[in-house]
Amino acid sequence: MHILFNKKLIIFVVCCVISNPIHAKHESGHDLSDEEWETIKNNVELIDKLNYMPTLLPTIMKNRDVLQLTEEQIRSFRSWRKQYYGYMVRVMNELIEKRIEFKKAALDLDTTSEYLHLLQNNIFKQQKELLEIKLSCRQMLVDTFTDDQWDNFAFVLSEHPKLASFIQH
């Protein structure tokens, strides 16, 4: 039971979201090259610095041999990316814009507290929408990864110091 909880904690940390804060570059069904996954990984790290949950689908795909992903799993990940990537990027961009709008409004002396509450509620709605997208990816991993893949995934994450601390042995 403890091991299962740890694996679910890892899944929660994963909430894999491939993202590019400017535009959705890879919405097609084709596989990405290692260089393209590296570009996405770099973009994800930039997003992570903006307090988004760590996103590891690029790491999973880059290490698909170590994780022994099946063709069906790879198709699942590609399908998720095709279905949600552009949508997720749009939501993230809108969220960034709403945060900027809030900061500007908060510094405007003519802005009422009621208006700031309205803006903040819109930000909360956008964050919830983003979370739902991320949780759909999390569920895909929960449904598809085997115990051996979780063990291998913990090994892969050990190479990422910021993420390795989330793994409990």
pLDDT in tens, 110-158: 999 999 999 999 999 999 998 898 888 888 888 899 999 988 888 887 7
Where is 165: in which H helix or E strand? none
Q: Which are the contacts of 127, defined by CB distance < 8 A and separation ≥ 6? A: 95
CB under 8 Å to 4, separation ≥6 — which residues? none
Report pLDDT digits (tens) over 5-15. Answer: 444 444 444 44
The structural domains of the chain, with segments of one domain joined by +, span 2-19+30-164
pLDDT (tens digit, 9 = 90+) per residue, 67-104? 999 999 999 988 988 898 889 889 989 999 999 999 99
pLDDT in tens, 18-74: 333 334 444 445 566 777 767 666 665 554 444 333 467 888 888 899 999 999 999
Q: What is the pLDDT of residue 104?
A: 95
The residue type found at 57 is L
Within 13 Å, how many C-alpha atoms sit on residue 27's CB side? Answer: 12
- Provide the 10 A C-beta neighbour count for residue 68: 12
Please say whether the beta carbons of 41 and 63 come within 8 A: no
